[in-house]
Amino acid sequence: MNTLELVVLVWIGSLAAGFLGSLTGLGGGVVIVPFLTLVFGVDIRYAIGASLVSVIATSSGAAAAYVKEGFSNIRVGMFLEIATTLGALAGALVAIHLPVKIIAVIFGVVLLYSAYISYFPPLKEDRPDRPDRIATLLHMDSTFPTTQGLQPYYVRGVPAGFGLMFVAGLLSGVLGIGSGAVKVLAMDRAMRLPFKVSTTTSNFMIGVTAAASAGVYLNRGYIDPGLAMPVMLGVLAGSLLGSRALATAKTRVLRIVFALVIGVLAVEMIWSGITGRI
């Protein structure tokens, strides 16, 4: 395989990863890292470096479209970024000293959990949809567009969401995935945001989180421009396509497709880490 063929294949895989990541709010890095390490045998630290660059591109491409369409909650995203940025810096510093096998196994476990929360929707609550005091104070309640017009919603569980966001940032720094899985968990389950608002706000946030940890990887020499460029271009194109498809996509279908893809990658990632193939 020559260099051109390799670049094209990486770009195509990154395009698919960006499309899936944009639709679900989990970020293309969830697919990019196992794709590069398992298919092309790239060192996982360089795969994470390329993934972080692509995550920034994903956020830049999809987030602008989602904000314009009225899906993303800017106030929620900016507030929670305080926690994710601190976590990302801590995670990136820890990851530099972790063995590759451990990173692979941790990545696989996170993928399994991502598949789980993607497949199973949040449980319905019996109590009324009352606003959270902190959310009201910070004016986080908002609306999002539906086929029946603008639908209002309340933001709740702000402290729990803030704590989960620190964990999301920590995972982003260690794994280079943008930590969309935990971000969606925090907003979809803990803060009770509508699923499409959770995924789009996650896309808005992951770029800032990834940028914080990418600086550490760049300083350590784990970002290869020759690898990061086709990955970034592919993920960016895929995220733009995904942002256009989200408005008409069925939420349940998105959850099922993503859960299946991530579940397969998770098992392979864990097995490769345990057997030392990575």
pLDDT digits (tens, 9 = 90+) for 172-227: 778 766 666 677 778 877 888 887 788 788 777 877 777 777 887 888 888 998 89
**Is the pLDDT at 62 greater than 70, yes or no?**
no
Flag the least confident range among 97-106, 150-159, 238-247. 238-247
pLDDT of 163 over the 60 cut = yes
Whether the per-residue pLDDT at 129 is higher than 60: the answer is no
pLDDT band at residue 12 under the 50/70/90 scheme: very high
Helix, strand, coil % in the chain, rounded to nearest 5: 75, 5, 20
According to the model, what pLDDT value does residue 230 have? Answer: 92
On the question of pLDDT at 91 being above 80, the answer is yes
Q: Mean pLDDT lowest for which of 21-35, 95-109, 112-126?
A: 112-126
For residue 111, which of 34, 56, 170 has the smallest C-alpha distance?
34
How far is it, in rounded angstroms, from Cα 45 to Cα 52? 11
Domain ranges, ordered by start, for the chain: 3-275
Regarding pTM above 0.85, the answer is no
d(CA 180, CA 159): 18
Which ranges constitute the DSSP H helices of 177-250? 180-185, 195-219, 225-246
Cβ atoms < 10 Å from Cβ of 57: 26
* Residue 265 host element (H or E): helix 251-275
pLDDT interval class at 121 (50, 70, 90): low
Please enumerate in sequence order all residues whose Cβ is within 8 A of that of 62, keeping only pairs 6 or more positions apart, or say none: 22, 200, 203, 239, 240, 242, 243
Whether residue 153 is predicted with pLDDT greater than 50 in this model: the reply is yes
